Amino acid sequence: MFPILVFRDTLGLLLLLGLDVSAMMFPVVHIGDIDVSFLFVVMMFHIQIAEICEEVLRYLPVSGIIGLILWWEMFFILDNETIPLLPTQRNTTSLRYTVYAGKVRSWTNLETLGNLLYTYYFVWFLLPSLILLVAMIGAIVLTMHRTTKVKRQDIFRRNAIDFRRTIMRRTTDPLTIY
């Protein structure tokens, strides 16, 4: 559960930095794939939750203080502009300047990444695709062990059966009832 929180923290951080595309790639890859697979593994192994719940009460004072400090620091960031009901106020007298070059014609994040990724660095782009293909095949091969009975046909044996001998062996007529 905690890696999910860590990845959500990096997501928020990257959104604050203004990189939207890279920030959107993090949850898609990390949380969506890796954390879900970790959840599957944890569910399969039956890690005992009863042990963890007993020890929570011992850790509560220190972690509670840290949690309260973090919650208190959040109010330094959220000011009255974003959420108009909070009691904090930011000083609005500080000067702000707008960069007008960005408003005339600017690339979006996705455009810049695509501009580089598909033209100059396309070889590096194709190489992780090969690596991911190898990883996919490797994951399938590692989990396909011999105990799973897969019905296969031995083609060579099937071609070698002489049908005259196997089908026409019957000598008694089944329709006659004694």
**Interface contacts to another protein, rule CB under 8 A:** 3, 6-7, 10, 13-14, 17-19, 22, 25-26, 29-30, 33-34, 37-38, 40-42, 45, 112-113, 116-117, 121, 124, 128, 131-132, 134-136, 138-139, 142-143
Beta carbon nearer to another protein, 69 or 160? 69
Beta carbon nearer to another protein, 67 or 111? 111
Beta carbon nearer to another protein, 117 or 161? 117
In the complex, minimum distance from the CB of residue 171 to another protein, in angstroms, rounded to a whole number: 55
Closest by CA to 75, choosing from 85, 63, 66, is 85
What sign has the CA pseudo-torsion 140, 143, 147, 149? negative
Does residue 21 contact residue 109 with C-beta atoms inside 8 Å?
yes
In the complex, minimum distance from the CB of residue 109 to another protein, in angstroms, rounded to a whole number: 9
Beta carbon nearer to another protein, 134 or 161? 134
Nearest 5 degrees, angle CA 82-CA 86-CA 90?
A: 65
In the complex, minimum distance from the CB of residue 151 to another protein, in angstroms, rounded to a whole number: 24
In the complex, minimum distance from the CB of residue 155 to another protein, in angstroms, rounded to a whole number: 30
Q: Please report which residue ranges of the chain form alpha helices under DSSP H.
A: 2-17, 20-26, 36-45, 49-77, 101-104, 109-117, 122-143, 155-160, 163-167
d(CA 71, CA 75): 7
